[in-house]
């Protein structure tokens, strides 16, 4: 029994030491221009889904999908998100340098949208960001109402009322050159 326990402890120590050497010698990739290891992608995805199941708000959306709220969502998106997630005509091939330089490339939401996701899930992602990707957290700097406005806009992006669509069509993905 004693030698069995010693064996377990020795194995744990070897794994810990190997992990330390891998990190301290830069064997764990620190670059953003390579494909992340499969285990990192699996862990990030699995943990995100479990967290969303536990934490994403599930009840009714606390604001109405009025034109005023949707237009506010479009404007906030233009200021905070379009640089990574693109404008109404953006496709993967026309994504900004920032969007394609990230190592989880930011999806161009007009092309690959999140209309199918529950609004509360999108709300959670905007408020808290997504670890292991470049998706920032906006909860500390935008109000709850502003985050719901953007979440509603993203949920209805492919079926916006005409007045809202007009404003959406004007959003630019990259700032105009000076
Ligand atoms: C610096 C670039 C960047 C900015 C700015 C940014 N995002 Fe993201 N976003 C990302 C990346 C990268 C991902 C993760 C993509 C993945 O997991 O494959 C992401 C993921 C998302 C997702 C989930 C997409 C999906 O398919 O599940 C949503 C929704 C989203 N962002 C909305 C927003 C909104 C709204 C804003 C502005 C308030 C914003 N993002 C700002 C980079 C950005």
pLDDT of residue 129: 98
Q: Which of 178, 60, 51 is nearest to 124 (CA)?
A: 51
The pocket around ligand 1, CB under 6 angstroms, is made up of 77, 80-81, 83-85, 98, 102, 104, 106-107, 114, 122, 125-126, 130, 133-136, 138, 150, 154
Question: What is the C-alpha to C-alpha distance for residues 81 and 174, in angstroms, rounded to an integer?
Answer: 11
Q: Using CA positions, which residue lies closest to atom 41 of ligand 1?
A: 81
The residue whose C-alpha atom lies closest to atom 9 belonging to ligand 1 is 135
- Rounded Cα distance between 80 and 126, Å, is 10
Please give the share of the chain, as a percent, with pLDDT higher than 90. 87
Number of domain units in the chain: 1
CA of 9 to the centre of ligand 1 (A): 43
Report, as an integer, the average pLDDT of 151-176: 95
Residue 127 belongs to a domain: yes
Domain-located, residue 102 = yes
* Cα-based distances in Å from 93 to 100, 152, 154: 9, 26, 21
The token duo for 38 is 């499969």
| 38 in any annotated domain | no
Whole-number average pLDDT of the chain: 95
Q: How far is the CA of 81 from the centre of ligand 1 (A)?
A: 7
Question: What does the block give as tokens for 138?
Answer: 């906006």
Q: Evaluate whether residue 20 is within a structural domain.
A: no
Is residue 50 in some structural domain? no
Which pLDDT band holds residue 10 (cuts at 50, 70, 90)? very high
Query: How many CB atoms neighbour CB 151 within 10 A?
Result: 26
Full domain range(s) for residue 150? 64-170
126 domain residue, yes or no: yes
Q: Which atom of ligand 1 is nearest to the CA of 150?
A: 35
**DSSP string covering 114-177:** -TTS-HHHHHHHHHH--TTSS----TTTS-HHHHHHHHHHHHTGGG--HHHHHHHHH--SSPPP
Q: Which residue has the higher pLDDT, 175 or 12?
A: 12
Asked if the structure places residue 131 within a domain, the reply is yes
Kindly report, residue by residue over 25-79, the tens digit of the pLDDT. Answer: 988 888 989 888 899 999 999 999 999 999 999 999 999 999 999 999 999 999 9
| Tens digit of each residue's pLDDT (9 = 90 or more) over 164-174 | 999 999 999 98
- Residue 80, domain CATH: 1.10.760.10
Q: Residue 130 pLDDT more than 90?
A: yes
Q: Which two tokens stand for residue 45?
A: 């995805």
Within-domain flag for 21:
no
> Residue 21, SS3?
helix
The band of 2, judged by pLDDT with boundaries at 50, 70 and 90, is: confident
């Amino acid at each position: 029994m004693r030698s069995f326990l010693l064996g377990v402890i020795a194995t744990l120590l070897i794994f810990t030491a190997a992990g330390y050497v891998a990190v301290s010698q830069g064997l764990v990739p620190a670059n953003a221009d390579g494909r992340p290891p499969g285990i990192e992608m699996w862990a990030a995805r699995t943990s995100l889904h479990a967290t969303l199941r536990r934490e994403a708000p599930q009840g009714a959306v606390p604001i109405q999908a009025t034109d005023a709220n949707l237009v506010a969502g479009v404007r906030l998106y233009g200021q905070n998100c379009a640089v990574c997630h693109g404008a109404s005509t953006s496709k993967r091939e026309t994504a900004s340098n920032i969007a394609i330089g990230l190592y989880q490339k930011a999806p161009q939401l007009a092309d690959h949208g999140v209309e199918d996701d529950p609004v509360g899930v999108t709300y959670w992602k905007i408020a808290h960001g997504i670890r292991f990707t470049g998706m920032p957290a906006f909860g500390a700097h935008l109000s709850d109402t502003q985050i719901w406005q953007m979440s509603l806009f993203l949920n209805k992006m492919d079926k916006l009322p005409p007045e809202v669509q007009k404003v959406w069509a004007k959003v630019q993905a990259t700032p105009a050159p000076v």
